[in-house]
Structure 1
Amino acid sequence: MKKKFVLTLALVLVVAGTLVAATPIEVSGSFSAGYDFEFTAPTAGATGGTAELVTVLDFTGDFWKVSLANGTAVLLEDAFIPVAATAEIYLDKALAEQGVDMGDLAVTLHVGDDVSGSATTVLADPNDWAGGMSMATVTDNFGLTVKYSDLVEVYASVDPSLKALPMVISAKFMPIDGVDAAVGFTNDANGVIVSAAADIASLVGLEDIALSASVEDIYLLDAETNELNADVNAEVSGVGLWVAYQMTAAEVNKLAAKASYSTTVQDFGLSASFKAEMADLADIANTSTYTIEAGAGYAMGGVNYALDAAYVIDGTFTLSPSVSISF
């Protein structure tokens, strides 16, 4: 009886080990914690502590990948909680296994709780002004990506649970090295988005400087409104500079620019920057914000220690010590 139990247990362990080997689990993420000490006249000082754990958990197979959706809480004991997740199914690989060669064509099916409803855009958006264009009522949508070599990639998403069938379809084109373009449409917002990006440095053969530019236009057909975004980015020998422009749907013109420098001295990472942001070019005096930032960081024992400072001219001074761990 004892021998039979040992053999059964051994068989269970072998099967479990085979399943784990067949379905690798990839875990990555980061932990960060720190404080923000804010000093604003007439307030002497205010403190606020934060701690955040961000994890990415993927189960991968030869023909699929399952990822936990954003904001998912998992409790392994005492309660059963449905886990929101998204799956990517590589149909071209599955068909190849069945003897159907798709050549340079890759087809991926996206299903689950966190399928994107956003149109593809290639805008760099260094100032985080643009929100892109998405389906407004995403609930139970699924998506499909079709990619041909490195020339074109088409993404479509639809929510079949709603009578209006809200959907988005977009395509990204890579005609030559260093140039990307994208176009998209959604019937939910009845809008069109067009964008383009160019790696100018590679196009003209610059080796010691990074230089790129991108532009995006969003037009809503029903509202007859237009939003335009454009930016230029450059970096050389630790010195960075970007300029961003936006014309909002209300025809307000915005401009932002940032110059920065980063270097390493005796294993300490040092950085400094100056940013100017004008929320309305028609009223620069009353809508401009100027921010000076500086930071120092040091890595030891797999932990990154940092001390950052930011001063909004005629505004708040913030001192932020923090630690972070990536895994």
Structure 2
Amino acid sequence: MYPLKFKKCFIEKIWGGRAFESVLDIKLPENKKIGELWEVSSHKNGMSYVENGDLAGKSLEELMESSGEELLGKEVYNRFKGKFPVLIKYLDVNDRLSVQVHPSDEYALRVEKEFGKSEAWYIIDASPDAKLIMGLKEGMTKEEFTEKAKAGNFEDMFNIISVNKGDCIYVKPGLVHASLEGSVVICEVQQNSDTTYRIYDFDRVTDGKKRELHIDKAADVINFDEHPEITTVDTRKSIRLEGAVKEEVVRCQYFNIDRLQVEGVYDDQVSPSFRVYSILEGEGKIVHSGKEYSAKKGDTYFIPAGLDVSIEGKLDILKSFL
């Protein structure tokens, strides 16, 4: 095993744009609105394929079948019953992201036959006017929500927040969320799921018709008392290490996220679990067993369990792990 780099999977979205080119130095397909960029995924809707080294061309699904325990680490492999546990992507929300909600594991496994969807949104870039919908107004009931949503009456229904670069929002299942104003670029770390229940799409039309809504399923899974968990650079715990400053961004049962600001040489501790490095700024290299892997803004590396790696250079990294 060695640090793996996957081919990028570009996904067009009605609300997408071209910001990945300017914010992350990622070359995009011409004349397309790219809303999502799936970086590490074993989901059928956007499978990752190895780009570097001896395993080039292999899908993450194939690697899980042949070497799953080695990739994830024994404890994680057993805990998730041999399934790859996370999905890591970038979002370019250039227009309004539809109002939506995700189900829990219990509901999703029963109804959709896949994991539920807990996710974290790390704001890489935000316009000064960026506003998100995060949750419903205090006191909203299921009956009131269903009646208003089916009537298309969304006035005074949502909790609205402003966001800035560096903010992180933990979006639990059951939390209604969307973008409302401005634009944001997000690194999203989530469970391995693509189940979303759409509540409102701002009456947009594609191919001559409005996109499908899922009001009844949404009403079933919304947690009407849920509020967003938001951290900022100023509120997060920060630890100075040799060669890096570490911020603890998210801790939950499905994934953990640290921000690493590397300057010099940082030896990342050998982990019994996998790690994913999403490189947001800078350039440098990842070193394993004497071999160097070039690392720059827009790159993503998957580090299999148990690998000894060091990071060299000046880099701003989101590290996702279990």
Q: Shorter-chain-normalised TM-score: which range?
A: under 0.3
Could you tell me the TM-score, scaled by structure 1's length?
Answer: 0.27
Could you tell me the TM-score, scaled by structure 2's length?
Answer: 0.27
Which structure dedicates a bigger proportion of its chain to strand?
1
The structure, 1 or 2, with the larger RCO (C-alpha pairs under 8 Å, 6+ apart) is 2
The structure that has the greater radius of gyration is: 1
